[in-house]
Amino acid sequence: MTRIASPSTVDSPGTRAGGLLLRVVPPGMYVGRARVLIERSLLVYRKAWLALVSGFFEPLFFLFGMGYGFGTLIGDVVGPGGAPISYAAFVAPGLLAASAMNGAIFDSTFNIFFKFKYARLYDAMLATPLGPIDVAVGEIVWALIRGGLYATGFLAVMLGMGLILSPWALLALPAALLIAFAFAAVGMACTTFMRSWQDFDLVQLAVIPMFLFSTTLYPLTVYPDALQVVVRIFPLYHGIELMRGLTIGVLDVSMIGHCAYFVVMAAIGVVVASRRLGTLLLK
């Protein structure tokens, strides 16, 4: 007679992994349906596509104004490898990283806050088979997609203008997605602490100086040594250094550190955002 093993006697890797997941993630927090949030965003922006693509033009205007307008007065500058490059080729990777940042962080702050505080959309979602982690992951991935769309369009413009100087630029799009994911995760985590629209002045207070001082428009060497240490802390600085090295073709070990910075940043953002949503929506 064939013996049928009971569930208690089966100790497969899948069973052990499932038990570990249940111990790490409390029941009801995650049910694996984050894709529903992405599908909803696609349906919403299908009729509001102009609002989606409008964010692409800001870095493009900066490229024309600074890279080509102001750049004609500057001429060539020293690139990451020490070789002279045009000012437009120097500025474009910085604007590429800023494009990924802007697309992700503004979608994960202003839009999330409206859905959370005024539309009460997440309260309705949690009445369905969705958990707080599903909501957090779904919204962060959508913000990542938006930042990735901006970066893809800007990369196409750079290619058409001859500002991509190395085949390593193929890795710039995955790098842009990593940057967008990290900023989206932290942006959503910060949004869960905001109480009113006035608090979003803090977002501008963080994003605008980061854009201006993270070597987007000029190299790090223009700062005093003490200020260089502060600039190296900025997340956008690591994104710009990563993009500039890939598009110009100067790769070194420091790029691993830049990528690790964003991996840690994304992990912290996802954990904080999901826990805060769970606390605020399930209380």
76-78/84-86 β-pairing:
antiparallel
Residue 2 forms part of a structural domain? no
Range of the domain at 58: 27-281
Residue 11 forms part of a structural domain? no
Residue-wise pLDDT tens digits, 1-37: 444 444 444 444 444 433 443 344 554 565 567 788 8
Distance CA 64, CA 62 (A): 6
Using pLDDT thresholds of 50, 70 and 90, give the confidence band for residue 276: confident
State which amino acid sits at residue 87. Y
Q: What separation in angstroms does the CA of 54 have from each of 103, 141, 202? A: 10, 19, 23
Percent of the chain having pLDDT more than 90? 17
- Tell me the backbone φ, ψ of residue 87, rounded to 5 degrees: -65, -35
pTM equals 0.80
Dig out the tokens for 118 from the structure: 């005024």
Residue 14 forms part of a structural domain? no
Residue 67 DSSP label: I
Residue 282 has what pLDDT?
A: 63
Residue 21 forms part of a structural domain? no
Cβ neighbors of 238 (< 8 A, separation 6 or more) are 257, 258, 261, 262
Phi-psi map region of 109: left, alpha, beta (phi>0 left; psi -120 to 50 alpha): alpha
Residue 269 forms part of a structural domain? yes
Number of structural domains the chain divides into: 1
Residue 23 has what pLDDT?
A: 45
Residue 38 forms part of a structural domain? yes
Residue-wise pLDDT tens digits, 80-123: 877 788 888 899 899 889 888 887 888 788 888 888 888 778 77
Residue-wise pLDDT tens digits, 190-211: 888 888 888 888 888 889 889 9
Residue 5 has what pLDDT?
A: 42
Residue 18 forms part of a structural domain? no
Q: Is the pLDDT of residue 236 over 60?
A: yes
Residue-wise pLDDT tens digits, 170-184: 899 899 999 988 998
Residue, of 4 and 249, whose pLDDT is higher: 249
Residue 201 forms part of a structural domain? yes
Distance CA 47, CA 31 (A): 29
Distance CA 87, CA 64 (A): 11
Q: Which helix (H) or strand (E) holds 248?
A: helix 235-248
